[in-house]
Structure 1
């Protein structure tokens, strides 16, 4: 009996010791995991806090041994051919072939608007070797034969598809787009990975319809023609005309499998009653497109203020070396309606051609890129704060993306 009791006691003590060891071990690992996790979190937070390491990342200083950067995978995409920036009004060499500058207009408007903008363009064109196509949409023979559209802007895109056949690349411009800094070549914005190049308007993130670059390909000509033919199927409400059409036309072109998302944006578009509700549709398209701006073989979309043209009012018509063209000049003369343009007198196009001859700048209107950046940053903050509340939509919260198609929602993916 005594021996059995001693044995049982030893077994009990051994079990207690094992249990205590396990408890200590579990406690140790929990403590270590917690501390290690907190250390990792603190380490991570230190690297994303602007006041600690933002500048290091901005300068690509990756000397911190704890920062691991994944090597870039070999790109399967065609690399863009970078066109050298024009210097000292030098030659614009035809690296991408024949470039045509296309401006569509109606005679009545050209007589009462756009003279300042158009004179600046003509002055610029005298110093380069681009081909021009100034097309009267009411009287041009080729337009009459190919474009039955009766709404101006849709007819313009049809006309562009017709004249594109004369070019390798074509720059399509609104008549109120002016050249403010001629020390640029159009080719600086050509991207030979795509067939169409667009940009976003700064004040509302809308993909602009008035000015674009287009390559002479079957894809591009078809895109323009379909865009024009939207005249016949566009919604009858407040729809943004060709600008509104462009948003969904691009979405359908680059993300054809996003059927439910396209339906969601289309539904919002059809509910538009004014500018604010129209902007809800623009937001829907932007959210659906996401951060990607390059769709190889199809389209590139420049982010705001990075295209060849931006709205002049953003900086009071001040400009810097990075600027090429400004949009929105609709006056026949300088000084009208209190407008102090960057030029001190009207253009005499006969004086233009070599260097800066004919470019009569008003002192102080050319500013530094950093000053332009500061003004754009201020406008950017203001635009975000004043953006219509009912346009701040997240389509996946307000529109179905599964309920109408389950279980076949991914069939096209």
Structure 2
């Protein structure tokens, strides 16, 4: 009886908010069939699969679980394609719990997960840095008589590399070699990632990175299978499946990413994090008479700025822009953010000048790039807070909303400067901060 009372109490609020179906599965059908058909966004499994695919394409993965719940309430039985879309969405937002929930649901409905679905699960484990669970998935595949393919082993390799488990990574390489599978560029990229994430840091890191980059130039073309075509249809690139740092830039055009440089991309990313090895990698590219793409240039600028050599980062930026080999907002954002490291007077001025140049080129600064810049600029404890104010104004001029973390840092920075409460800027920031805080917390 107490349960029913609590359910009825929740239902009262759910009706008010229009969320009754989230409480107990009850739905009101006191409207005409025509009116109900207008409200319902899907009527069969094909339409639900289309909705799931659309949400994945729009990167609105937070709605996938709601769509699945609606399918269950409507009595629509999911298909294998349904669970593939749900697994891809869980992988992209690193929700390992949801991924395993869909696997259990799949089995409950009499569907045996196939190799593509298991690959998505292993990739999700890699994003969550849980190599133990990834290895258990491989064992489950064997017990379910699902034959692993090349992508399975590479996903597992990268899942172990994410935790710096070099021992497991080399064991996977030995298994692949024993099975007659060649190592491709993604395998060598995984080896670089494994050494980068190894703790404690190994003394032979530089030598290993150079070795793997050299060996990747003669990588063996491993046999592909139907899973690759399916991933392409679902919009999942190899870089995304293996959790490479270039996953967000694969579809960029204008020379942003040369996919033949996969091992170089991973190496330059690691070099920027550790603030070394960049010059050696650039020399290797020069000997091959190859031009760095925009992603590599971004990593080089990031490395120089993180190492405290802002002048060199600025010079490399200017040389690349003047060469006419490419241009992108990320180049300006990287230099502007890197120049702010340490919040020196010179660095802050270079950062502001770079932002002005970017604005003059009419480059669009999206929410992600703007939030990263604002979060960095908001950390300035002294000075006129000019950079943070300028970044805020740029975003507001384009009606771009920063993240909660960026707005909170900017709000605290303004409060620390004892700005009057009736200041228009502070009032606007306070309003946005309160709205975001109530929405996301």
Q: Same fold (TM over 0.5)?
A: no
Identify the TM-score tier after normalising by the shorter chain: under 0.3
Whose strand proportion is higher, 1 or 2?
1
Larger Rg: 1
- Higher RCO, 1 vs 2 (CA within 8 Å, ≥6 residues apart): 1
Whose helix proportion is higher, 1 or 2?
2
